[in-house]
Amino acid sequence: MEKRRLGRTDLSVSKICLGTMTWGQQNTEAEGHEQMDRAVASGVNFFDTAELYSIPGKPETQGSTETIIGTWFKKRGRRDDIVLATKVVGRTNDEWFRGGRPSKLVRADIMDAVEKSLKRLQTDYIDLYQIHWPERDIPFGSNPTRVSEISPPLPDETPIAETLAVFDELVKAGKIRHFGLSNESTWGLMRYIAEADAGKGPRVQSIQNAYNLVNRTFEVNLAEACTREDVSLLAYSPLAQGYLSGKYDNGALPEGSRKQLFDRLQRYEKPHAREAIQAYNELARQFGLTPASFALAFVNSRPFLTSNIIGATTMAQLEEALASVDVAWTGEMQEAVDDLHQKVGNPCP
């Protein structure tokens, strides 16, 4: 498994990152352990989780995924072999993260989050600690294709410099090694970099944003910013929450799928999304590949990618995702994808 440098750090991470958010609801602890065993055996050294997980977020399962990873570390003794990434929530009115109050990106809340994550993960340090989403009032994902109005700063918005200073404390205390963002915009990324350059805290090493065939908005501005600033893209949702696997084609609703269980895939159900997804899945078949292999290989091929965060609920899905690194992405495939993208754009930002 190819390894790539994470930002400007001394860490090298596998091209495939094992996403974990289904562990604790769709997957049991034993299944999560099996996935970690198989991924590590294939050369994966990078796990991504969050205090929010498992998905969908709810009080009774919050933190369950970190707990499953922690029991695997304890049983296998492999902590030092893994680059571990987790996240603190951004602004939320959900009170179950902080024991009865809303959460923001302020010192008390970040400190509370990191201590709880360390305990669940059964580790003394986190390699990459990420902000799951901004505190600012902006569209989730932070890279819309259309904007009708810009929300003014919230009256109680936490300054980025203040948030970054907390991460500086955590680095100096040895609780985290590096800092990253998620669901962030180009403006947000560059503000964090500017504050770090001014000595306010650690430099951003990565950004975890959605990137797939029906959402290439990262390419518009973030690709240049990240390349010039040595910020790694950790691409999530490469299969568009399963739609680019083909399993929902023609209105299908497989038993046990996330759509059937939770009906929470609205990001990929916007106007004209179905037609675009169906077209990409048919294109994959024309090249003799499954839709999942094709969509994953596309993300793997991007020159600005550091790691592709895959997720699986079955071992067969995991095997296909791991094997995607061996799929040869051709110029003909890229030309066909770009031609289709010119027609359908980014229907699912």
Q: Which residues are tagged catalytic?
A: 53
HSE (side-chain half, CA atoms, 13 Å) at 15:
19
CA distance 280 to 295: 8
Q: Could you tell me if 277 and 214 are in contact, meaning their C-beta atoms sit under 8 angstroms apart?
A: yes
Q: Which residues pair with 236 in a beta bridge?
A: 210
Q: In 3-state terms, what secondary structure has residue 43?
A: coil
- In terms of Cβ atoms closer than 10 Å to its own Cβ (0-12, 13-18, 19+), residue 174 is exposed
Q: Which residues of 263-294 are buried (b: 16+ CB within 10 A; e: fewer)?
A: eebebbbeeebbebbbebbebbeeeebbbbbb
**Could you tell me whether strands 176-182 and 3-5 are parallel, antiparallel, or unpaired per DSSP bridges?**
unpaired
CA distance 119 to 12: 25
Tokens read off for 55: 């998905």
Torsion of CA 115, 140, 179, 10, to 10 degrees: 130
CA distance 4 to 7: 9
**Number of other residues whose CB lies within 10 A of the CB of residue 230:** 15
The torsion angles phi and psi of 209, rounded to 5 degrees, stand at: -125, 155
